[in-house]
Amino acid sequence: MSAASKITHFNSNSTTDEVLAGVDLSGKRALVTGVSAGLGVETARALAAHGAEVIGAVRDLDKARRVTAGIEGNLRLVELDLASLASARTCADRLLAEGEPLDFVIANAGIMACPFSRTVDGFERQFGVNHLGHFVLVNRIAPLLRARARFVSVASSGHRFADVDLDDPNFEHEPYDELVAYGRAKTANILFSVEFDRRHRGRGIRATSLHPGGIPTELNRDMTPETIARLHEPLARLMAEGKTAFKWKTVPQGAATSVWAAVIADEDEVGGKFCEDCQVSPVRDGGDATMPGVCSYALDQTRAQRLWALSEAMVGEKF
């Protein structure tokens, strides 16, 4: 398959099994975070079904064991609480001690638009869980990545809600807004992949980020009814006015872009880019979060480097 066909062959309706049809991943190793619900379980299932050895990093091991019990293939679980830097470091240290190389790292775990709270390390929870926990984990295990490995950061079209605030990441100087906080965290996911790609592409390792689509999962479990209504009202209005072609995806469709970006897509096409619907997204500022495209601020290399430096300062560790 040519590079061009890799980019254009699949679309929003494609599923994980369609993307990986005929692909043998025997001998490949993957780490997927959040393998206890929704997209994480499906991503792990699809990779394992095609022969990969999959490590599922989860906060709740008992829950993860229950929901992954039917997965066929090589899947094992490790404990990871992204709300704790100590847990992220322990998980990374365990993987480093094992010394087994990795071909794919998919940072899938996350929380969305929850009421204000802080992680055990004192960070605003969405920024801490979605960004800083993964920042520590992925950077620590970077030595395990083989040449031509991929790091995939599962972000969201919700990055359109807000750019990162490099001066007030913890909402210490302005009122907390759960959707703004989510937007900041998802923009941070994208910027992290941009800078990771810049730093590691000389080793043949590429990084990308993506929007999986709108999928009914447990992601909204921490949202209040008021926040859910606030999020859905503009969507309902746009649909009623015929201004959006939005449609919900199934879980296999939602996880398809993750496995496409990790396994199938051409490395030079997706490296440092943002993807959705198994395509590289156009850069498009303005509009609402239902429209395809990535805001330019989320791919800005200068802001990516500044976020990296800020993140290092916040976690007290340089990479």
**For residue 127, how far is the Cα from the chain centroid?**
13
Residues 212/218/221/226 CA torsion (nearest 10 deg): 50
H/E/C letters for each residue in 247-260?
CCCCHHHHHHHHHH
DSSP state of 279: E
Residue with tokens 């937007």: 183
- Torsion region of 171: left, alpha or beta (phi above 0 gives left; psi -120 to 50 gives alpha): left
Are the beta carbons of 79 and 55 closer than 8 angstroms?
Answer: no
**Exactly one of 10, 104, 127, 182 is catalytic; which is it?**
182
In the residue annotation, 182 being an active-site residue is answered as: yes
- 102 forms beta bridges with 145
Q: Which residues contact 259 (CB under 8 A, 6 or more apart)?
A: 16, 19, 20, 43, 46, 47
Residue with tokens 């959040």: 34
Length of the chain: 319
DSSP state of 143: G
Strands (E), the chain: 29-33, 53-58, 74-79, 102-107, 145-154, 206-211, 274-276, 279-280
State whether residue 68 is helix, strand or coil.
Answer: coil
Are the beta carbons of 56 and 35 closer than 8 angstroms?
Answer: yes
- Residue 145: what are its φ and ψ, rounded to 5°? -70, 125
**Positions marked active-site:** 182
